[in-house]
Amino acid sequence: MPHPFYILDVFADRAYAGNQLAVVTHADDLSSETMQLIAAETNYSETTFVNAVPEADGGYRVRLFTPARELAFAGHPLVGTAWAIRRFMEPDASGPVRLNLQLGQVPVRFEAGETGETLWFRAPEVTLGATCPREAMATALGIDPEDIDPATPVRQAAAGTAAMIVPLRSLSALKRSRLNLEAYAPLLAQGFPPLTYLFTRETHDAASDLCVRFFFEAHGVREDPATGNGAAFLGAYLLEYGRADVDLRIEQGHEVRRPSRVRLRARKVDGTPEIEVGGQTVLTVRGELV
């Protein structure tokens, strides 16, 4: 069976920005081991594998791999994979694209706008966990404790994966932040994850509401240019600390030269958070595995 593949820039409004994603379709006959090898070969933060036809519930089976392991959930792969399915596998269809993941089915809907089509997915339930002392997190990030906004806490959030949400006072503090794994070791020993999602209300672009950075450990510290699940974590965090209705434009990726745009909407319905993350996708490469 031929295996078409596509390289996409997700959470981007132009090529060579946003977060890169490789999508392999018609992947029914690929073993888990082969999928892992392909993901290691692309070496993007995630590669997805899509079966050729929908399952009985109307959803396409999708598996998500980093270069090292399989994931149950991640944000930008949902947006990019749904875009590829609609563009190349069912171009005449309408309505949402349904993705069957390890965590269950996730519909991705399409919304037309003045600047292009935005794809939105409903985030799974986000759990807010333990808080972390500002001083310890500041040490791990190489900044001063005063750089962390005391109005809301440094707190863990999780949905499939987990990360620390860190509110910062300024864009300057965001630019100066660097995750030091040696300094982070005491927090790891306490069970905090080595993933940090930093945000500030100061931005590069006047049209943005927040600027963020996301650090994670993968054979050293790496920085994500655009993070959908991190935005979902932030939505739950903002609802917890006083925001009744969230509709934000988030910028990310400036420090790694891949400027990104992530949309976030969140509200509480009958006391339960409903969180949507959205963004655009640009195709850069198409081909076939040999």
Backbone angles phi, psi at 12, to 5 degrees: -135, 150
Q: Which two tokens stand for residue 24?
A: 């392999």
Active site includes 46?
A: yes
CB of 17 within 8 A of CB of 280?
A: no
The CB-side HSE value for 242 (13 A sphere, CA atoms) comes to: 3
* Sign of the torsion angle spanned by Cα atoms 73, 20, 201, 176: positive
3-class state of residue 111 by DSSP: strand
CB of 100 within 8 A of CB of 57?
A: yes
- From the candidates 46, 135, 217, 240, give the one annotated as an active-site residue: 46
Could you tell me the end-to-end alpha-carbon distance of the chain, in angstroms, rounded to an integer?
Answer: 10
Instruction: Look at residues 67, 61, 99 and name the one whose alpha carbon lies nearest to residue 80.
Output: 99
DSSP class of 15:
T
Rounded to 10 deg, the angle between the 228-240 and 76-84 helix axes is 130
CB atoms within 10 A of CB 256: 15
CB of 80 within 8 A of CB of 8?
A: yes
Residue indicated by tokens 């994603």: 21
Q: In whole angstroms, what separates CA 175 from the centre of its chain?
A: 20
DSSP class of 89:
I
Geometric angle at alpha carbon 47, from 44 and 50, rounded to 5°: 165
Query: Which residues are part of the catalytic machinery?
Result: 46
